């Protein structure tokens, strides 16, 4: 297959999956609007506990990590819907490479995940007075975190057998990874054992990287980006392997 033909097929897949997402905008809109309501209502609690600067930062970072983890539903359902709709078998009969299939679904989902995070940070900066003096560093963390979410969601979409199973995975898993990662509540207010297990949560590295980016700690932010990229690569590789048969073509799931 020539690069031009491959690019043309990929472009068709991206447009198709974008249209599918826009035809059912409810989940996407809820993931965009609810975080803003959450920040507005709970920010006074953070301000009372941590002061204006630290409280605003904690409110924005905690909300971003929590609701972006809940947005795993967007990524996972993009694949699971194909399987439940029996269109997956049709794709198996085409010359598509598993990587093309994943990229075609990944591009619009990645854009949605990144847009959600930019919206939350933008709301924090423009409305709540969040200080973000290092936008390039912050963008690097957001891109790394979006890749991680994309990998996690894809893996869930490949492994889940029903929408109920997928919903339970991202609801329970999202809140667990966010809470254990110290996104919503600072470690100083959590049991001591949480800080010990927290590095096992991607949410921990996302929150750590965001705090570092906001304060200009390049070393910590870079380490967080590297860890998140590793998680994304691992999840993406596992999903790709699950999609391959012995011949390298898409398999039935």
Query: Would you list the DSSP string of 70-93?
Result: HTHHHHHHHHHHHHHTT-HHHHHT
pLDDT tens-digit readout, 180-202: 888 888 887 888 888 889 999 99
pTM, whole model, 2 decimals? 0.86
pLDDT tens-digit readout, 1-19: 567 777 777 787 788 778 8
Name the average pLDDT for the chain. 84
What CA–CA distances, in Å, run from 167 to 31, 70, 156, 173, 208? 14, 9, 10, 10, 27
Residue 115 has a pLDDT of 93
pLDDT tens-digit readout, 83-99: 666 666 666 666 666 66
| pLDDT confidence bin for 252, thresholds 50/70/90 | very low
Identify whether the C-beta of residue 104 lies closer than 8 Å to the C-beta of residue 13.
yes
Residue 9 has a pLDDT of 73
Q: Give backbone dihedrals phi and psi of 250, rounded to 5 degrees, phi first.
A: -60, 140
Q: Which of 37-41, 116-120, 160-164 has the lowest mean pLDDT?
A: 160-164
Residue 95 CA to its chain's centroid (Å): 29
Provide the percentage of residues in the chain whose pLDDT is more than 90.
Answer: 41
How many whole angstroms separate alpha carbon 127 and alpha carbon 229?
A: 31
């Amino acid at each position: 297959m020539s690069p031009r033909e491959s690019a043309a097929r990929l472009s068709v897949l991206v447009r198709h999956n974008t249209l599918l997402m826009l035809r059912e905008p409810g989940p996407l809109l809820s993931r965009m609007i609810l975080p803003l309501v959450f920040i507005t209502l709970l920010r006074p609690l953070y301000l009372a506990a941590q002061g204006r600067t630290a409280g605003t930062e904690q409110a924005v970072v905690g909300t971003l990590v929590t609701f972006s983890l809940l947005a795993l539903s967007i990524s996972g359902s993009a694949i699971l819907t194909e399987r439940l709709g029996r269109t997956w078998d049709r794709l198996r009969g085409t010359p598509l490479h598993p990587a093309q299939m994943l990229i075609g679904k990944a591009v619009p989902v990645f854009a949605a995940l990144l847009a959600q995070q930019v919206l939350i940070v933008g709301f924090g900066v423009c409305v709540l007075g969040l200080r973000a003096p290092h936008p390039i560093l912050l963008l690097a963390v957001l891109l790394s975190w979006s890749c991680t979410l994309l990998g996690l969601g894809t893996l869930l979409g490949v492994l889940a057998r029903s929408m109920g199973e997928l919903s339970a995975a991202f609801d329970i898993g999202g809140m667990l990874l966010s809470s254990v990662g110290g996104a919503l509540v600072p470690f100083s207010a959590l049991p001591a054992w949480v800080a010990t297990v927290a590095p096992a949560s991607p949410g921990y590295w996302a929150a750590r990287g965001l705090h570092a980016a906001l304060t200009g700690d390049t070393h910590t932010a870079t380490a967080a980006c590297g860890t998140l990229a590793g998680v994304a690569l691992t999840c993406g590789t596992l999903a790709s392997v699950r999609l391959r048969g012995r011949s390298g073509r898409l398999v039935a799931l």
